[in-house]
Chain A
Amino acid sequence: MIGLKGLLERRPGLRVLIYAGKGGLGKTTLSAASSLLLSESKRVLVFSTDPQASLSDVFERDVFGKGEVKIAENLYVLEIDADKRINEYVASIKKKIIDMYRLDKLPPDLEEYIDSAAAEPAMYESAVYDAMVDVVAEGKYDYYIFDMPPFGHGIRMVAMADVLSQWVEKITELRKQAYEYGRVAASLKRAKLTYEDEILKELQYIRDRIVAFRNIITNRETSALMVVVTPERMSILDTEKALEMFSSLGLEAAGIVVNQVYPPELAKSPDTPEYIRNRVEEQRKYMAEIKQKFGDMVVSVVPMLNREPKGLEALSLVAKELWSPSKSLDDYI
């Protein structure tokens, strides 16, 4: 196994690490450990959105919704409060309409429409991705580590980026046409034209954002999609599905990290209780399956610690194995 170190040597242009996959496997812990490693020499931002399994817990600091917080030298954490972001965004749209047309309040049906749009799950994901684009575009850091929420429909924005970008081009064309007709009619009738420039500007903005997001996710030189798996039946199946989904979207996972693995020595030691021994034996079977199914894609195996990996000290244990694994994959089988 090449470890994260090997991956970075192989792809020196990497700037963005994205930990993806389902919840509960340790994406957040591995994101935090990666950021800790990389911050030894470079400025790193680790980014998360999930208020449940959060960087706040891992770093033992409340960072949720507090912007970019410095945790250690060169290490910054950003935990987005997506709901707050959506609320602020929606409020700004409402305010804009009220100000533009000098209304006392929004008509109820429009208010309802905006609120229901804001409640859609797709909205949450879009807000997260939009925040991602923000921080990467700003370019203040050398490395960006993203602890992604479990993928939903939103990741399809990647597949849709091309379509959408063409769409927006078409819409823009349409808008220009409308503008031309409007201008002629307006000059004939000497009426005033409204907001055409603003609409075109917004369309351009939307297109740029969608394309920027696609570029962050799909650029193989600068971004690596990392998938986390544990030696369990369900987790292996889920990972297979995730890899299939990625390739259907034209994405490619850069590496797989196997997490929460019992040290194989436990099976050999005579002092090991039966209960643990069974567990270890079972895991060894699944490790063999992981090797057979994912083979070279496995970058690191991170052993189960004897306590929860919380706080900088425990994290550095995880980080060490992640960076350059002390055993080979076969040692776990």
Chain B
Amino acid sequence: MGILSRIREVVEGMAVHGQATSILRIKAQIDNLFMIITLGDMLGIPLLPPYYSLRLLPYMYPNIQNWKMYMLRERDVTDRIS
């Protein structure tokens, strides 16, 4: 990696990293909501007719594993702290 891009990453990290993370966090929440609405029947919440929701499946594919783990994970008090 060249010295220039190193410098750029340092500057970027100082300037916008926090902002970018919080934006990404909001996006993740919106994505999560979207997944529930469209592929909710994977978790037993049917909202869209499956005939049509299958059309969206290919685009959601990369997120499905994480999302299911996130949704099906057991919650406990320590969640509240974080």
- Interface check B16, CB cutoff 8 A: yes
Contacts of A73-123 to chain B: CB distance below 8 A: 89-90, 93, 96-97, 100-101, 107, 110, 113-114, 117, 120, 122-123
21 contacts between A and B (CB under 8 A): A89-B54, A93-B54, A96-B58, A101-B61, A107-B65, A117-B50, A127-B51, A164-B48, A164-B49, A167-B37, A167-B48, A174-B33, A174-B34, A177-B30, A178-B27, A182-B27, A185-B20, A188-B12, A194-B59, A195-B59, A206-B52
Size bracket of the B interface: 20 to 34
The 10 closest A-B pairs by CB, nearest first: A126-B51, A181-B27, A188-B20, A178-B30, A117-B50, A206-B52, A195-B59, A185-B23, A96-B58, A97-B58
Closest beta carbon of chain A to B69's beta carbon, Å? 11
Binds B, one of A3-11, A19-27, A197-205, A253-261: A197-205
**CB atoms of A188 and B64 under 8 A apart:** no
Question: Closest residue to A190 on the B side, CB-wise?
Answer: B12
- Interface check A175, CB cutoff 8 A: yes
- Interface check A268, CB cutoff 8 A: no
Chain A interface SS verdict (over half): helix
Contacts of B38-63 to chain A: CB distance below 8 A: 38, 41-42, 47-52, 54-59, 61-62
**CB atoms of A189 and B20 under 8 A apart:** yes
Size bracket of the A interface: 35 or more
With A122-B51, A178-B31 as given contacts, are A171 and B61 in contact (CB-CB < 8 Å)? no
* Given A97-B58, A117-B41, A178-B30, 8 extra CB contacts under 8 A: A117-B50, A157-B49, A164-B49, A188-B20, A194-B62, A199-B59, A202-B55, A210-B52
